[in-house]
Amino acid sequence: MDEKQLKRAMELISVAGTAKSMCINAMNQAEKGEIDTARTTLKDAKKTLHEAHNIQTKWMTDEMNGEKVEKSIMLIHSQDHFISADIMMTVAEKVINLHDEIAQLKAKEQVNG
């Protein structure tokens, strides 16, 4: 894998990993009852994942335009990071929504006694 491809792979791993970590942080915030903070963190994670998507799209576009892309373990690893971050985004959104619903039900239960 040439240096340009290696740099792309490492950048995709880094950006996607950051997005994944932000999703985990958002779920932890929701678990603590910090729903608004969790939603803000998730929104920021989506922006970061979009950066990763742009890296991947540029990479694929370059290949379609004739740039040779060596299929390597690093390429596969970077794609794994991207897709796991994308999946984590979906899971985090669901988890935050569930914690929000639980908090609302608990609040309603306290009012109705």
pTM, whole model, 2 decimals? 0.90
Distances (CA, A) of 12 to 5, 7, 18, 95: 11, 9, 10, 25
Interhelix angle for 35-64 vs 3-31, to 10°? 160
**Residue 99 bears catalytic tag:** no
Domain range summary for the chain, segments of one domain joined by + = 3-112
30 vs 95: CA distance, rounded Å:
8
Was 62 annotated as part of a binding site?
no
Residue 75 CB contacts under 8 Å (≥ 6 apart), including other chains: 1, 5, 9, 69
User: What is the CB neighbour count within 10 angstroms for residue 49?
Assistant: 22
Which residue among 50, 53, 77, 99 is the active-site one? 77
CATH no. for 3-112:
1.20.58.80
Tens digit of each residue's pLDDT, the chain (113 residues)? 789 899 999 999 999 999 999 999 999 999 999 999 999 999 999 999 999 999 999 999 999 999 998 889 999 999 999 999 999 999 999 999 999 999 999 999 888 87
